[in-house]
């Protein structure tokens, strides 16, 4: 329990988070400073000081002499305590994805930070930053990550073979596309790692992993979502191909609500993934592949795919059990695990 000496920051933070949770519980009816102090086990003066800190962070809290404090609004920040409140409200308090949430106003790359802490954290730990200064795409490409987006990485530790890790990208694509559709955004998955809206990229996924012998130690699933960012400020190449949820909807999205729902979707998909590849119930993956196909606009298209050593063209005919894209080329069927895909029709 926290105290009001302010000596231990962890305690202070713990008290402040407790205060936020109580203020949420009492949103409809104000609560007095005295009652808050009792609930938190701290003095009224300490309550006061925490309330002031919250206001400095952007919380709007009404205070009336007779009745007490009432939460009016929260800052537009992906604060772990706020995500936790929403996960609890949505019945996902014990979900694996988001069991720990590490939050930073600014990072070079959430994937890098997630990789650095991966050996020491639980499966499902999430790293979030409000902005990235060295956001990365595949093959070292730059990923624009200004404030207003959702830049996060999830540390995953399923006991799977390294070659199964690429399927985590498919899993994340399903979760992102479904969550966007919940928000009335007609998102589609473009193989292998893009989410498009009306043909423009609104999200990119970057899965990286570390393996020892033939066992995966951990994977880091990086998800970058252009939520409320102005993609018109991006450099030319990204500017023409990108869009944001805000631009598509005509109004900003509630990033906290979206992120909480995304984590819940990811948790559901991850449970299915583990059923398939850890418990060996491979049919669970068939269901995921069916979902992926129904959410993707790649199947049936004529595509050109640049791989590491060659380029192929043909019709994207399906996705196989291993998560490879099946392409019917003039020279026969090709199964492709990774590459840059362009729609040519
Ligand atoms: C990706 O790479 O699409 C993977 C992006 C993953 C970003 C997340 S954010 C959290 C985590 N931390 C990181 O550092 N990364 C992950 P790729 O398929 O290689 O696409 C990169 C290309 O997308 C660039 O060359 C640009 O053309 C374009 N692009 C860059 N920033 C963009 C943005 N914010 N929105 C849309 N397109 C963008």
Query: Residue 216: left (phi > 0), alpha (psi -120 to 50), or beta?
Result: beta
CA-nearest residue for atom 2, ligand 1, is 137
User: How far apart are the CA of 176 and the centre of ligand 1, in A?
Assistant: 15
Return the ∠ at Cα 19 (arms to 16 and 21), rounded to 5°.
Answer: 115
In sign, the C-alpha dihedral spanning 290, 295, 299, 304 is: negative
Q: What is the mean pLDDT of residues 260-266?
A: 98
For residues 65 and 129, which has the higher predicted lDDT (pLDDT)?
129
Atom of ligand 1 nearest to the CA of 132: 14
Q: How far is the CA of 242 from the centre of ligand 1 (A)?
A: 10
Nearest CA to ligand 1 atom 34: 144
Say how far apart CA 271 and CA 228 lie, in whole Å.
30
Report whether pLDDT(1) > 50.
no
Pocket of ligand 1 (CB under 6 A): 109-111, 132, 135-138, 141, 143-145, 151-153, 193-194, 201, 204-206, 222-224, 226, 237-238, 241-242
- Ligand 1 centroid to Cα of residue 288, in Å, is 24
Residues 201-222, mean pLDDT to the nearest whole number: 95
Does residue 332 carry a pLDDT above 70? yes
Using most ligand atoms within 8 A of CB, pick from 78, 137, 155, 242 the residue to mutate for ligand 1.
137
What is the C-alpha separation between 139 and 256, in angstroms, rounded? 30
- Measure 142 CA to ligand 1 centroid, in angstroms: 6
- d(C-alpha 343, C-alpha 314), whole Å: 10
Strands 101-107 and 126-132: parallel
To the question of pTM greater than 0.75 for the whole model, the response is yes
Q: What is the 3-state composition of the chain as percent helix, strand, coil, each rounded to the nearest 5? A: 40, 30, 35
- The stretch 47-67 carries a mean pLDDT of 94
Q: Which of 80, 84, 1 is nearest to 37 (CA)?
A: 1
Residue 275 near residue 287 (C-beta atoms within 8 A):
no
- Residue 199: exposed, middle, or buried by beta-carbon count in 10 A (0-12, 13-18, 19+)? exposed
What the block records as the tokens of 111 is 């994937």
Q: How far apart are CA 3 and CA 7, in angstroms?
A: 8
Question: Atom 20 in ligand 1: which residue has the minimum CA distance?
Answer: 137
What is the helix (H) or strand (E) element at residue 51, kind and residue range?
A: helix 44-56
DSSP assigned state of 242: B
At residue 9, the pLDDT reads: 64
Q: Give distance in angstroms: CA of 111 to centre of ligand 1.
A: 12
Q: What is the pLDDT of residue 224?
A: 98
Q: From CA 203, how far away is CA 183, in angstroms rounded? A: 15
pLDDT of 4 = 43
Q: Kindly state the tokens that stand for 107.
A: 């990072």
Q: What is the pLDDT of residue 241?
A: 96
CB burial string 282-294: b at 16+ within 10 A, e below = eebbeebbebbee
* Residue 147 banded pLDDT, cuts 50, 70, 90: very high
Whether 3 shows a pLDDT value over 90: the answer reads: no
User: Which residue in this structure is represented by tokens 């730990």?
Assistant: 125
- Nearest in space to 206 (alpha carbons), one of 112, 310, 312: 112
């Amino acid at each position: 329990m926290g105290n009001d000496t302010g000596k231990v920051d962890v305690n202070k933070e713990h008290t402040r988070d407790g205060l936020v949770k109580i203020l949420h519980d009492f949103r409809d009816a104000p609560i007095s400073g005295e009652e808050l102090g009792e609930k938190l086990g701290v003095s009224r003066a300490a309550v006061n000081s925490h309330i002031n800190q919250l206001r400095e962070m952007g919380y709007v809290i009404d205070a009336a002499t007779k009745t007490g404090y009432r939460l009016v609004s929260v800052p537009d920040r992906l604060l772990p305590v706020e995500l936790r409140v929403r996960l609890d409200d949505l019945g996902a308090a014990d979900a694996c994805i988001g069991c720990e949430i590490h939050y930073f106003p600014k990072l070079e790359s959430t994937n890098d930070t997630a990789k650095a802490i991966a050996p020491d954290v639980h499966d499902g730990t999430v790293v979030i930053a409000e902005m990235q200064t060295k956001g990365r795409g595949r093959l070292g490409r730059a990923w624009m990550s200004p404030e207003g987006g959702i830049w996060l990485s999830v540390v995953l530790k399923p006991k799977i073979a390294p070659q199964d890790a690429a399927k985590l990208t498919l899993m994340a694509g399903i979760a992102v596309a479904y969550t966007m559709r919940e928000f009335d955004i007609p998102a589609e998955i473009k193989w292998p790692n893009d989410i498009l809206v009306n043909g423009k990229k609104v999200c990119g996924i970057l899965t990286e992993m570390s393996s020892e012998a033939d066992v995966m130690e951990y994977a880091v699933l990086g998800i970058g979502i252009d939520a409320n960012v102005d993609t018109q400020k991006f450099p030319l190449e990204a500017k023409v191909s990108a869009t944001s949820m805000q631009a598509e909807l005509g109004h900003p999205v509630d990033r906290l609500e979206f992120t909480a729902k995304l984590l819940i979707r990811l948790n559901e998909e991850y449970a299915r993934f583990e059923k398939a590849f850890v418990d060996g119930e491979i049919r669970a993956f068939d269901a995921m592949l069916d979902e992926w196909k129904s959410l993707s606009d790649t199947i049936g298209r004529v595509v050109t795919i640049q791989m590491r050593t060659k380029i192929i063209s043909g019709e994207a005919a399906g996705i196989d059990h291993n998560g490879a894209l099946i392409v019917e080329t003039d020279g026969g069927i090709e199964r492709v695990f990774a590459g840059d895909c362009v729609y040519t029709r």
